[in-house]
Chains A and B, each alone.
Chain A
């Protein structure tokens, strides 16, 4: 790292080597046994517990916490995995403050919920560290199911289908399985190659083959899959991104935030990743926060998230916003980008303040510019072409994740309904698998 004033432009190696290690370490380190016991003692074992209702995968939280409290974390892990096979990742990335922990009655009582997420991690880590796969596959049925996409929805569906004895082939466009767990989540949320370790552990169920770098529409078609398999599950996520569509958005160093996060996750050395001195992130979701925080962790001097609506409209949770500001990210709300300026490479972003007028977001006419030698765009992702009937901008699905096309199910971010969360994708993949299983078993 150079002494003195930080250099403008984008540059790798802004920090000392050890800084990268510290910056990208586990954000919330695992609880040790003592901490887990203290935390588990706070659970009231509620009747028909609100935390379970709030969990998209409906994990029996009071039961697993009681199992931790009675020193059987392995049993707790089984309770978790029986509902959510990606319970390990969800323990790391779930916005628990908006789900189970928000519903915890101790949040109502004391403003301090039971640490459900960290307890879940304690239990799942314990079992996974022993490299135990807690489920045994049913006898082979001879039925074959194609799962497109090895993200949370696809992995969840594949595991449940394999559990029931079906043969599953997963096709994934990327070189590695995991989907957003591998490519789309901040590095400090899932260090130590956890996403790949989790995939390997999940595949121990057997009966699942994964074909990498096989993309729907490029290497195969839905029609082909329908012909070759007894059922098809689509967990293809949102492969496109929204563009800014304003003057200057083609300048150098203007990048999709998802690509930046992908690059960061796949980098051998974080120090190799060039980062701007002044970074602007446009958007208000988790992707914006992940990009902004990691920009700071790579050594950017100023990082500003600019969001076009008020702060309470941001889809990133309050906890995520607090984390961002704690890491030195500035939040600027009620401003929309109107142009990017620069000569070859971006140098400034011009914004216009916004206000609500008659239910519409409108510019006030007042403008300002922020210096930026790197801009990350995080204004939403879009579904790729599938040919399937849509509901809004996503694949229309009914009960059990059925699309309007016979033999085709969908779940996760690509499908209608539910939040775009890992845990929701897991639930939808699991439920679609059960529906497929019922169909393949001759239920209808």
Chain B
């Protein structure tokens, strides 16, 4: 089987699957269970200075569901560890001693002054941990106290604190970024300037998951009130993938290792993050939903796929999709596809028809016997029919070959690509020489 081991910014791990800094990594008991289950590493739940914080005593989580109550998104208002610092340090040391081959990264969040960081870093180093992750991401609670995402939203602070950390420890330093900003490249560049060995992202997204319509209060509701929480789980994966790609594509940060986080639930999700530049991946919601055992599927699935494709190690796939992440203006406008419906697979639900007829381009016909067919003269290849079809593979996009005439536009499909930069309708276009 393919070699799944990694060396991420100097931190070694038998596989790229780490548990993210979160409730599953809050205590020795949980982390031992995680390592026994096969996780390659953990980022221990964020430590702070004593006196330790406290948590609410009502509900901490809210959720979004798909069909059959499948958990798609989770929101939390839990803070950093609410146990004494020394308790955590002792447990970290004990676990690392017993699992020397696993990655033990410790998440940290202390106030924005160098003294605080100088205080905590040697204590962590003493545990034998492999690295630290700076929590500049948590968007709830701690941010009100000037920490977490309050730091992550100001690139100058990121750079400053990262530099303090690098000056005060030998341990590799991962900077965890908040997605609650407009351009993820700026905080990543700041971390890079400060000397970070890696970044990890995304932390959770500001969210209200639902509103209790009896109480007229946001969920989770604490005595009639609610505060925004941090959103995670499968629903945030597309946002996370884009942010990872943005950093990987940015020439300034192209060589900065990335630990990918955000809705990773299966081996395939992990492979996608890796393809977009992640050297390790972190998981939380999937473990919180299904337990630690899911890592077995992640390991077997990633290994099987790599073997089938002939990829021998993680480095061989890391960032492989990055060169194909482009800008809209560079997409080939001469690439023409048409939807095709496989009548053998079609179950005649008509969702493609309703979607196209009501909300798109009236490019699907419906016969009296419920046969649905694409009208090429109208099909703009938007892909909505593919997306709403409940049968995988029933509707596909078929590429038109050069020389064929697109019945919608009457134009012959050209073999040479052409994009918006040279399009005659683009006021800024440059005429082809």
Contact = CB atoms under 8 A, between A and B. Distances in A.
B228 interface: no
Interface stretch (A12-20, A39-47, A171-179, A388-396): A39-47
Interface string A27-58: 00000000001100110111111100000000
Interface stretch (A105-113, A157-165, A215-223, A224-232): A105-113
Interface residues of B, number: 14
Contacts of B351: 44-47
Interface stretch (B325-333, B342-350, B406-414): B342-350
A44 B355 CA distance: 13
A47 B68 contact: no
Contacts, number: 36
Contact of A46 (B67, B349, B391): B349
B267 interface: no
Interface string B353-365: 1100000000000
A108 B353 contact: no
Contacts of B347: 105-106, 108-109
B391 A37 contact: no
Contacts of A46: 348-351
B349 A41 contact: no
Contacts of A48: 350, 366, 370
Contacts of B354: 47
B69 interface: yes
A41 B66 CA distance: 9
B68 A41 contact: yes
Nearest to A49: B350
B287 to A, nearest CB: 24
B352 to A, nearest CB: 9
Contacts of A49: 350
Interface in A45-93: 45-50
A49 B366 CA distance: 12
Given A105-B347, A108-B348, A109-B347, A44 B390 contact: yes
A106 B391 CA distance: 10
A391 B391 CA distance: 46
A45 B355 CA distance: 12
Contacts of B349: 44, 46-47, 105
Contacts of B67: 41-42
A399 B391 CA distance: 40
Contacts of B353: 47
Nearest to A47: B350
A168 B350 CA distance: 42
A108 B370 CA distance: 13
Most buried by B among A38, A105, A106: A105
A49 B348 CA distance: 9
A48 B347 CA distance: 13
Contacts of B350: 46-49
A105 B347 CA distance: 5
A109 B391 contact: yes
A46 B346 CA distance: 13
22 contacts: A37-B69, A38-B69, A41-B68, A41-B69, A42-B67, A44-B351, A44-B390, A46-B351, A47-B349, A47-B350, A47-B351, A47-B353, A47-B366, A48-B350, A48-B370, A49-B350, A105-B347, A105-B348, A108-B347, A108-B348, A109-B347, A109-B391
Given A50-B348, A109-B390, 19 more contacts: A37-B69, A38-B68, A38-B69, A41-B69, A44-B349, A45-B351, A46-B349, A46-B350, A47-B351, A47-B353, A47-B366, A48-B350, A48-B366, A48-B370, A49-B350, A50-B370, A105-B347, A108-B348, A109-B347
Interface of B: 67-69, 347-351, 353-354, 366, 370, 390-391
Closest 10 CB pairs of A and B: A47-B350, A47-B354, A41-B67, A105-B347, A46-B349, A108-B347, A105-B349, A109-B347, A44-B349, A41-B68
